Structure 1
Amino acid sequence: MTNRAYVVGVGMTKFEKIQSRDWTYPQMVAEAVSGALGDAGIGYDRVQRAAVGYVFQPSTAGQRALYEVGLTGIPAVNVNNNCATGTSALLLAQEWVRFGAADVTLALGFEQMTREAMAGSGARPAVTTIDRHLAALKAAAGFGTAPLTTQFFGAAAAEHMRAHGTTREQLAAVAVKNHEHSTRNPYAQFQNAYTVEQVLADKPVHDPLTRSQCSPMSDGAAAAVIASERFVSEHGLGGQAVEIAAQALVTDDAESFASGSMIDVVGTPMTRRAGRQVFEAAGVGIEEVDVLEVHDCFSINELLTYEALGLCAPGESGALVESGATTYGGRWVVNPSGGLISKGHPLGATGLAQCAELSWQLRGLAEGRQVPGARIGLAHNLGLGGACAVTLYRGPRE
């Protein structure tokens, strides 16, 4: 028999342009964790285990980061799962609670990014984590000069346009929506609205993607306190306890590479499988979800995620975003935080920033960006090479 696991406190820093703020990663971690503990109304001494996610910092950086919070001697497990790192840490923290290893755990993600790390400076090793992805990209589109991730998703966008008639304006509409959403989010790296014309006229990165359709390099941290049902009951936290109703983490299978489709190579089959597992485990469908935070590392990936999670049929995502169905007043609100495109994307922190945003939304605390009546939220966190995590949240019980 398993226990229920609840998010009882969340905190995050503002996501910042890299090297624009004078801080160390232990300082950003202390800010995020203090916010989460204060939200939960507990001290760090109540936390029994910590899962700490990051991509570019050195081994045991999680322990060093937490020394600024407290020296309590608890186990700290360092997690690295590329862009899905934050939700992978959350998965570990909630499983400790769900399977009875602890009553209170901490999930933490942070990142201080550098251009050198993102460029993968130095000679390419004989084996890389994305060998199969590179082979597929070479066969489908050849290699360009843009950053590799942009080439992957640019090729997927071009394929979607050829196969379904998706337009540049529809791709731009994703960025317009998310940048507008971010104007309401004080934690977002960017807080400026754009028109479709401005997005299309922005600096080209890799055709058909322009700069404002691509997530930036960011610094920041986010954290969540996870607690058991017993702890929630004993400490009167029911009014703010957001249940992790279901969670799935998957990696690539043969389908990702069988067809040579770049849409498959960039993770659509993973999203589809993880979403299916979560909906089956929670006993709900996408039509019951109110608010989503999805991994819009590039505008095309939000469209691919609509299709993989069942918001629309394959090929219909461009028309869906243009219709207004995924913003305020529509059927769903997708990325009320501004998403990765506008909120920012410090790799290790992204999944936990999604957790924070959905917790605030389901508790009615999102202020100027609140989705009215939000009761069920879904987060989608994707990393190439390959990991995809989908999490379904239920709001506090009445």
Structure 2
Amino acid sequence: MHKCGRYPEKPATDLALEAALNALDDAGIPWNAMEVAYASHVAQGVSVGEAICEKLGMTGIPIINVENACASGSTAIREAFYAIANGVYDVAIVIGVEKMNRGVLGGAGEEGSLERELGLNVMPARYALKANKHMHAYSTTVEQMAKVSVKNHKNGCLNPYAHYQKVFTVEEVLASKMICDPITLLQCCPTSDGAAAAVLCAAKIVRRYNSKPKVFIAGSALKTEKYKDDADLTARTAKAAYEMAAMEPGDIDFAELHDAFTIGEILHCESLGFCPPGEGGVLVDTGRTEIGGDIPVNPSGGLQSRGHPLGMTGVAQLCEVVWQLRGAAAKRQVESAKVGLTHTQGAGGVCSVHIFKR
């Protein structure tokens, strides 16, 4: 991984190169053993994957650029996983990278669409509506939402790859600049630069290259919204992943999920089945989502603290899960972790859930 932050002097390809070299070194596999490369990014231009891989060496392999909003990295992982599972390749590398513009994150709705005319193309506005709805329906409080930020920034202080490594109090979070009521500045993820990479390979050769503890993909799901759908998108996606893995929410030891805004973590915890609907705020209140709780959420610091370089996020989540399941997460280690879940959700109505096991 390349540490998230602001790197005006570095092109995206240099961020990605560092992440890719780190992944290859971690796996103990040389670049010329890669059979395919997937490069996830959202707004980095044409053929960024080819530009990254040119720096690694032009070996003639297929290079596939993947864009799927905030779920780009997770989608690239899924594509690599299914290609390997179906015997097309034995070894693949997934590289996620993004350099972000400063300012409020937009991107939803086409030019001239009703969404844009109403101002709903701005992400804080969309999440603020969700927050107000949840507060009205379940008496969720602004303090509970602020506690998500407090927890994740505290976790981020333990992650050397996190963009912001600073502890905040509930009072400081609530007193920060109002962005879109009730969401304040410190309840929004930063717009960061960063890159992450991972090597995936077939189970039949996984022990050929190193003796490190191995992590396997047990479940993979990717869904989009549909008309007249009674089920929440995340809930429907998670259901497919749980079924594939032959697991239930209670089998998950920790999760890295999409906390672009604090209310997102509360909503997604409910949708993933970690608590009943309406009790996401209580889940945070009672400390259950802390690193030492019974369902730690975002031990990496999540998007709130690590950052949210769009094309990187899903791959960064995978890296965190692997470190946790190997017992290599240092001070943020989740005790006795055997199963981890990742979740991303993006503009346009796309969601991805993966389940990993030792």
CA distance in 2, matches of 1:236, 1:65: 25
CA distance in 1, matches of 2:91, 2:99: 27
Residue 200 of structure 2 corresponds to residue 213 of structure 1? no
**Is this contact kept in 2: 1:53–1:89, CA < 8 A?**
yes
**Is this contact kept in 2: 1:294–1:381, CA < 8 A?**
yes
Alignment match, 1:244: 217
Q: Which runs of 5+ in 1 are unaligned?
A: 1-11, 259-267
CA distance in 2, matches of 1:115, 1:195: 25
Alignment match, 1:374: 337
Equivalent residues in 2 for 1:146-161 (5 A)? 148-161=122-135
Shift of 1:119: 5.5
Alignment match, 1:358: 321
Residue 78 of structure 2 corresponds to residue 91 of structure 1? yes
Shift of 1:235: 3.5
**Is this contact kept in 2: 1:246–1:391, CA < 8 A?**
yes
Alignment match, 2:300: 337
What is the TM-score with the length of structure 1 in the denominator? 0.86
Alignment match, 1:13: 2
Alignment match, 1:181: 155
Q: 1:175 to 1:384 in 2, by over 3 A?
A: same
SS class of match (2:127): helix
CA distance in 2, matches of 1:278, 1:374: 19
CA distance in 1, matches of 2:39, 2:168: 35
CA distance in 1, matches of 2:45, 2:195: 16
State the percentage of identical aligned residues. Answer: 40
**Is this contact kept in 1: 2:27–2:209, CA < 8 A?**
no
Alignment match, 1:8: none
**Is this contact kept in 2: 1:255–1:269, CA < 8 A?**
no
Q: Deviations over 1:350-374 (max 9, x none)?
A: 0000000000000001011111110
Q: What residue identity is the alignment partner of 1:181? A: N
**Is this contact kept in 1: 2:77–2:315, CA < 8 A?**
yes
Equivalent residues in 2 for 1:83-162 (5 A)? 83-115=70-102, 118=105, 125-126=111-112, 134=115, 143=119, 148-162=122-136
Residue 239 of structure 2 corresponds to residue 276 of structure 1? yes
Shift of 1:240: 2.6
Q: 1:370 to 1:28 in 2, by over 3 A?
A: same
Q: Deviations over 1:37-70 (max 9, x none)?
A: 0000011000000111100111211111221111
Give the number of the structure whose residues are more often helix, by fraction: 1
Q: What residue identity is the alignment partner of 1:105? A: A
Q: Which runs of 5+ in 2 are unaligned?
A: none
SS class of match (1:379): strand
Q: Deviations over 1:214-248 (max 9, x none)?
A: 011110100110000111144455x4321011100
Aligned match for 1:302, one of 265, 270, 293: 265
The CA RMSD over aligned residues, in Å, is 1.9
CA distance in 2, matches of 1:89, 1:365: 24
Q: 1:119 to 1:291 in 2, by over 3 A?
A: closer
**Is this contact kept in 2: 1:56–1:117, CA < 8 A?**
no
Alignment match, 1:73: 60
SS class of match (2:3): coil
Q: What residue identity is the alignment partner of 2:173? A: V
Equivalent residues in 2 for 1:313-324 (5 A)? 313-324=276-287
Shift of 1:126: 4.2
CA distance in 1, matches of 2:305, 2:210: 36
**Is this contact kept in 2: 1:113–1:218, CA < 8 A?**
yes
CA distance in 1, matches of 2:10, 2:188: 25
What is the TM-score with the length of structure 2 in the denominator? 0.95
Alignment match, 1:51: 38
Residue 343 of structure 2 corresponds to residue 386 of structure 1? no
CA distance in 2, matches of 1:51, 1:342: 26
After the TM superposition, which parts of structure 1 deviate over 3 Å for at least 4 consecutive aligned residues?
115-120, 233-237
Q: What residue identity is the alignment partner of 1:269? A: D
**Is this contact kept in 1: 2:37–2:62, CA < 8 A?**
yes
